[in-house]
């Protein structure tokens, strides 16, 4: 019987209850103290979306879908690990090792590479991998199945508006902001985001659109812009009364989607007299999972494991 190949599926993580918000923030901040004001503000955001983050369940659903798309009986074993909460990346690697896995493909459920995001996952993998050799997939921002999934979700999102309104509804594509100092490193993150948006728009045709960053952290450092709120203001000022927001930098729901967009940005739109709707997240869209399965198999084959 062929030796099993692991897939280490990784995501950021999030608290499973309001009681976990403060220790989660400590983890995110490298155990630097967090002010009570910030803790309470973040706790209030989680309370507004149901008291917890759904990112673990969303990532586990992606793991099940990826394992199914990989097929081949039990040849591929998928384990989910979170960078900042349980189950942690180290736990997932331990689980793979217990299944007899000595070689695994590492995949972060974030399509766009940055030294400040993907590299931090991979450094953690290197620290925790033990006897498991891990071959990483560093980026997949133009994966055909991912683009197909986004196009499908955007078309369905436009379907929330009437046939008369639809051609004029601008799409506000968003992704998580990062500190502007990444530009000094020639970090590919902004260019990869623009490439994803261009690929989606090319498939959609003549649909008005803009791109913006969202969810900049509360730090004194300058962050990448333009900001989603500012772009929304500009769209409404230009006459748009309907806007579809498409968070292409995320693959499943969590606080940056459920609060920052569904509550905060929508509230801002309503205050301007406009209607804001959001696309369904790509989640475990069949086209995306089939594409990722191909990428996993290809990575394993490049390593000589298949």
Residue 269 to residue 105: CA distance in whole angstroms: 42
| 113-166 pLDDT per residue, tens | 999 999 999 999 999 999 999 999 999 999 999 999 999 999 999 999 999 999
pLDDT at 212: 98
| Distance from C-alpha of 306 to C-alpha of 302, rounded to nearest angstrom | 8
Q: Domain locations in the chain? A: 5-140+284-302, 144-278
CB 97 within 8 A of CB 132: yes
Q: How much is the mean pLDDT over the chain?
A: 96
| 5-140+284-302 belongs to CATH 1.10.10.10 | no
| Per-residue pLDDT reduced to its tens digit, 73-96 | 779 999 999 999 999 999 999 999
Q: How large is the average pLDDT for residues 270-292?
A: 98
Q: Tell me the per-residue pLDDT of 208-223, one tens digit each, with 9 for 90 and over.
A: 999 999 999 878 899 9
In this chain, the answer to whether the domains covering 5-140+284-302 and 144-278 adopt an identical fold is yes
pLDDT at 219: 81
Q: What is the CATH number of domain 144-278?
A: 3.40.50.1400
Q: What pLDDT shows up at residue 22?
A: 96
Mean pLDDT of 245-266: 98
Residue 274 pLDDT more than 80?
A: yes
- The whole-angstrom separation of Cα 107 and Cα 295 is 10
Of 72-81, 102-111, 231-240, the poorest mean pLDDT is in 72-81
State the number of CA atoms in the 13 A half-sphere of 8 facing the CB: 34
Q: Do strands 242-247 and 275-278 pair parallel, antiparallel, or not at all (unpaired)? A: parallel
pTM of the model: 0.96
Q: Per-residue pLDDT for 1 more than 70?
A: no
Q: What is residue 135's predicted lDDT score, i.e. its pLDDT?
A: 98
């Amino acid at each position: 019987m062929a030796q099993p190949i692991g897939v280490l599926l990784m995501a950021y993580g999030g608290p499973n209850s309001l009681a976990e918000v403060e220790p989660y923030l400590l983890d995110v901040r490298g155990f630097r103290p967090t002010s009570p004001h910030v803790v309470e503000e973040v706790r209030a955001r989680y309370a507004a979306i149901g008291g917890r983050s759904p990112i673990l369940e969303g990532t586990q659903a992606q793991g099940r879908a990826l394992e199914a798309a990989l097929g081949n009986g039990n040849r591929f074993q998928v384990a989910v690990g979170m960078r900042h909460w349980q189950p942690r990346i180290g736990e997932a690697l331990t689980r793979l090792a217990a299944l007899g896995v000595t070689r695994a493909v590492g995949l972060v459920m974030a399509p766009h590479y940055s030294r400040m995001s993907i590299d931090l996952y991979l450094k953690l993998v290197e620290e925790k991998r033990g006897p498991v050799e891990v071959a990483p997939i560093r980026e997949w921002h133009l994966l055909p199945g991912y683009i197909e999934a986004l196009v499908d979700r955007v078309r369905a999102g436009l379907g929330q508006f009437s046939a008369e309104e639809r051609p004029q509804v601008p799409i506000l594509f968003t992704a998580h902001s990062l500190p502007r100092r990444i530009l000094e490193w020639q970090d590919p993150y902004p260019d990869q985001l623009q490439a994803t948006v261009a690929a989606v728009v090319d498939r959609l045709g003549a649909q008005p659109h803009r791109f913006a960053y969202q969810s900049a952290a509360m730090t004194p450092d300058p962050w990448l812009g333009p900001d989603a709120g500012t772009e929304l203001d500009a769209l409404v000022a230009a006459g748009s009364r309907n806007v579809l927001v498409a968070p292409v930098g995320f693959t499943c729901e969590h606080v940056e989607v459920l609060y920052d967009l569904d509550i905060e940005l929508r509230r801002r739109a309503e205050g301007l007299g406009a209607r804001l709707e959001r696309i369904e997240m790509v989640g475990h869209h069949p086209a995306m999972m089939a594409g990722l399965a191909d990428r996993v198999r290809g990575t394993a084959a490049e390593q000589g494991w298949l």
